[in-house]
Chains A and B, each alone.
Chain A
Amino acid sequence: MAAGQRNKHKTGRAGKNRRTGRIIGAVGALSLGICGTVPAGNADPLANISRNTYGMPGLIDMPTAEVRPDGEFAIPFTWIDGNTQRNNLTFQISPRITVAFRYSRVPDLLRKNGTPTALYDRSFDVHWAFLDEGKYLPSMAIGLRDFIGTGVYSGEYVVATKSVTPKLRATAGIGWGRLGSFGSHSGWGTRPSYDYSSNGGNLNDNAWFKGDWAPFFGLSYQLNDKWTLKAEYSSDDYVKERQLADFDRRTPFNFAANYHANDYLDLQMFYLYGEKVGFQFSLNIDPKKPTFPSGTEAAPLPVKPRPSPSADPEGWSGAWVSDPTAQPAIQQSLAAALGKEGIILEGMSLTKTTANLRVRNTIYRAEPEAVGRAARIATRALPSSVDTIVITPVSQGMALSSLTFRRSDLEQMADTNSYDMLERVKITDAKPDPKAMPTLTAYPRFLWGLSPYTAVSLFDPNEPFKMDVGAELSARYEAAPGLVLSGSLRQKVAGNIGNNPEHLTTNTPHVRSDSAFYSSHGDLTINSLQAAWYAKPGDNIYSRVTVGLLERMYGGVSGEVLWKPVDSRLALGLETDWVKQRAYDQRFDFLDYSTVTGFASAYYDFGKGYMGELDVGRYLARDWGATFTFNRTFENGWKVGAFATLTDMSSTDFGEGSFDKGIMISIPITWATGKPTLSSINATIRPLLRDGGAMVNVDGRLYDTVNTAHTGELYDGWGRFWR
């Protein structure tokens, strides 16, 4: 079926238009992409082969107008003789924009009682390749290096790169700030000088593209598919290093050789300024290349077509409906079959022609895979007169959506192109189903687990990498749909995060900065102990109330309400938490500090995996403000994002860093192992842990719980429906 024909079947509903775009996009564009050569005139950003010392697309210290593969996430570690370190984390957030977060060590730049000590600095970069290379035009990019933060690497640039031959690329550009310090010409405006005593953390936008500028240029030559050689003329004069540290810049020329060991690993060696040798070790992860793309879960049972009416007159006539033992028997066998595939049948309503199965997915990362398997099993157990099968995914006892299938479609289209089935299914909000009979074996349910945990603390200048390891015992008792009691207990085995904790000298309440005091207690600490109640008070409205020890630092009550229609890009929520700060030993005692926090939140799905969130309200230190979060979710569940919170807490009160910000990464474990599981590795990295803009870390917030079975995620994962 051609893409054009598909279009004609669509109705005009707003929700459907979004789906049209997705289906046509998914099938039409991709069929071109997979097997067609790129049509002439279709430009692409220039792909970078090896990075610079800052982990960004570039030569050695200088940038180039190249980009990394879209979606690639990497950790390049650079070490330069004298123990200068640039530990970078880079992410190609879109085909043209590269961002980086860096933790650097610059030796001897600080003085502590007269003796030189190293400066540890956090910085963020952004790089935008705005022009693609053409026949005569070079590719061009503009970038900001170290644009928030105390500015030791601050610089801006505009750069152009041209492929002279397929293997040789030439780059030339202009830099400002640190990149305009050697061979400089005066520019416009004055650039404020680097202020060691400042709290940093602010956008230093009053400095961008101001002050002296200088040219830089270089060459990269790809010897073969493993080796690349580079040479550059650097406009970075290393002013501070020459003044304060033992750095002698003998020449502006730098050289490097990069070895591309495999898709995941690059090794590089540099010779800098005629003086220093450096190395880089870079780990690249492309979320679009999982180990086992279709997963290794066992094959699903085949759809069973109905026997002919002559072979099964009772089934087709519907006479079985009058038998009161019919539904319980069918429900029991369905629950057993679904249970074997990791799906819990929470309830079912059954009439002569329609079955509505309320199912909870416990292992498949993509909800459509659970829906597809439930639909297959339904065709194997339901009597022949049932010709409409509705699958209602449920989470925490709340029905999230309803997917209505015609049984004849399932029979005729089994194991064909999954997107053909996507056109035939009706996805709607889950209406209350009073006729549903609960499956008695589904509740209560008790789960427990004993596993290791790790906690990492970074960026303390005295000890940049600290880690704790221990054991965690967790348990979960699901008393009824939507009513969950859960808790976890931790025992630290070894670690140094809690060594020598210190109180900050700020005069704001220490709502988060005393974290090290909590870490210093490790014996049988109660990480959480709470009761949660989830409900669906109305169409498209979900609610949650959680009571107890909500996280290791706070206990109290948290309440949340979320409005999210099944096919809406926008969701709105309200949350309020009344909490008291827990005692450092994390048992049942509390400290004196208590407060109420509250937020109004808006979530917006921009499409193509980009999501934004705005939370406005009152934070733990009684400061008022807003948090902006932006993340990119890939169809396979990888999520990378960043957030920043601005509140009315003054930057002097906040302290170093000026405002709370950080990045988060979530990697689904099934991406690496292929085995079906909902589990994921989640990390939130904050350059600094301070007391402004702090929120309570409550488990099980509504948006992520509800979103898994709404049209955005259902469409993204629909390729697995027949899996």
Chain B
Amino acid sequence: MTIPMYRKLALATLVSLTVLAGCGNDDITNASGRYFLDLGKGIAGSVKQIGQKPVARKQPDPELVASSAMKLNKGPLLLLSMENTGYIAPLGMTGETGGMRTWFTPHKLSVITRNGMLAGTRGFAYDLMSADTQATERLIRARRAGSASLILRHLDGLGRERPMILTCQTRIGKEISYPFIGKTWHGTAVAERCEANGMAIDNSFVVASDGTILLSRQWGGPQLGYITLQMIRP
């Protein structure tokens, strides 16, 4: 290929990809065009950031987030905080079956709990698909020390749901009181250490006298990391 032809082709490719990516309502035709457009935008974005200092993101105040959610939503509410990404958002309950509750954030991401134990996430890209928390839940809500197993399931790269089996030990801690959204919350601290082949994670809970989990920090998986759930309204 002669050099001018190369340049002409490269320019044409760039032009046609950017102009035409995403026209029309047929998703199947447009998906590859859109993919390259998104790829281009991503590359352009990271190129722009070269040499720039990373800007510290301002963390939203949990109290503000919680109190504004309480005004908008009259049902059960939780406050979600994802340690890996710094994402903080209120969770409103959209469905309940037995002890399983499905909660949605304003960004249409979802968390599923079973009597307060983390049982699933949806929309987070490395979602926790399901969890068998019944055994550990019994110990934690009863505020009893002991040993139980926990099974967490994620989708692997091939789309298969694969279980991770952890052995957990619970230890009971002190009585805790903390202020939040104008109330004082009382409960017992329960720490849970879960191990699976050389790896260990620590979950922590604050359990009220009636067995409700008021505040918890639970591990959702290797990529998901720790998730904090704080009760705003039961």
Contacts and interface: CB of A to CB of B under 8 A. Distances in A.
Contact of B38 (A27, A36, A673): A673
A295 interface: yes
A447 B100 contact: no
A472 B23 CA distance: 11
A716 interface: yes
A31 interface: yes
B12 A293 contact: no
A673 B157 contact: no
A450 B24 contact: yes
A305 interface: yes
Given A30-B162, A452-B16, A301 B122 contact: no
Nearest to A287: B157
B97 interface: yes
Contacts of B30: 449, 451, 679
Interface residues of B, number: 63
A679 B1 contact: no
B100 A719 contact: no
B132 A417 contact: yes
Contact of A305 (B28, B38, B97): B97
Contacts of B164: 34-35
A417 B114 CA distance: 14
B87 interface: no
B177 interface: no
A303 B159 CA distance: 22
- Chain B interface secondary structure, helix, strand, loop or mixed? mixed
Given A34-B162, A303-B95, A674-B125, 15 more contacts: A294-B126, A294-B155, A299-B123, A304-B97, A362-B27, A448-B25, A451-B23, A452-B13, A476-B26, A495-B9, A678-B27, A678-B31, A679-B29, A718-B161, A723-B129
Contacts of B20: 450-452, 471
Interface residues of A, number: 79
A264 interface: no
A293 B129 CA distance: 11
B12 A677 contact: no
A502 interface: no
B228 interface: no
A359 interface: no
Interface string B84-97: 00000000001111
Rank and list the top 4 A-B pairs by shortest CB-CB distance, nearest first: A302-B95, A449-B29, A679-B31, A299-B110
Interface stretch (A143-151, A209-217, A408-416, A532-540): A408-416
A494 B163 contact: no
A287 to B, nearest CB: 7
A221 interface: no
B165 A31 contact: yes
Given A412-B98, A414-B97, A448 B24 contact: yes
B9 A636 contact: no
B179 to A, nearest CB: 32
B183 interface: no
Contact of A679 (B28, B126, B165): B28
Contact of A447 (B26, B35, B153, B162): B26
B33 A636 contact: no
B137 interface: no
Contacts of B119: 415
Interface of B: 1, 5, 8-9, 12-13, 15-17, 20-33, 35, 38, 94-98, 100, 102, 104, 108-110, 112, 119-120, 122-127, 129-130, 132, 153-165, 196-197
Interface of A: 26-27, 30-31, 33-37, 286-290, 292-305, 362-363, 366, 411-412, 414-419, 447-452, 454, 463, 465-467, 469-472, 474-476, 493-496, 634-636, 669, 672-674, 677-679, 681, 716-720, 722-723
Nearest to A417: B130
Interface centre among B24, B28, B100, B123 (most CB of A within 10 A): B28
A295 B1 CA distance: 40
Contacts of A419: 161
16 contacts: A31-B163, A35-B164, A293-B126, A293-B154, A297-B123, A299-B110, A303-B97, A417-B163, A450-B20, A451-B30, A470-B16, A471-B16, A474-B24, A495-B9, A635-B158, A635-B159
A499 to B, nearest CB: 9
A493 B8 CA distance: 10
Nearest to B105: A299
B154 to A, nearest CB: 7
Contacts of B122: 299-300, 723
A677 B31 contact: yes
A304 B154 CA distance: 24
B29 to A, nearest CB: 3
Contacts of B158: 287-288, 634-636, 716
A494 B35 CA distance: 22
Contacts of B157: 286-290, 293, 636
Contact of B130 (A298, A305, A418, A718): A418
Contact of B108 (A30, A293, A298, A418): A298
Nearest to B158: A635
Contacts of B24: 447-451, 474
Interface centre among A36, A412, A493 (most CB of B within 10 A): A493
Contacts of A454: 13
B160 A26 contact: yes
Nearest to A468: B9
A300 B5 CA distance: 49
Nearest to A422: B161
Contact of B5 (A27, A305, A496, A669): A496
A301 B95 contact: yes
Nearest to A420: B130
A448 B25 CA distance: 6
Contact of B123 (A288, A296, A719): A296
A722 B159 CA distance: 12
Contacts of B156: 30, 288, 293
Contacts of A30: 156, 160, 162-163
Contact of A299 (B13, B97, B108): B108
Contacts of B154: 293-294
Contact of B29 (A297, A418, A451, A470): A451
Contact of B28 (A495, A673, A677): A677
Contacts of A300: 110, 122
A723 B28 contact: no
A474 B26 contact: yes
Nearest to A296: B125
Interface centre among B155, B156, B160 (most CB of A within 10 A): B160
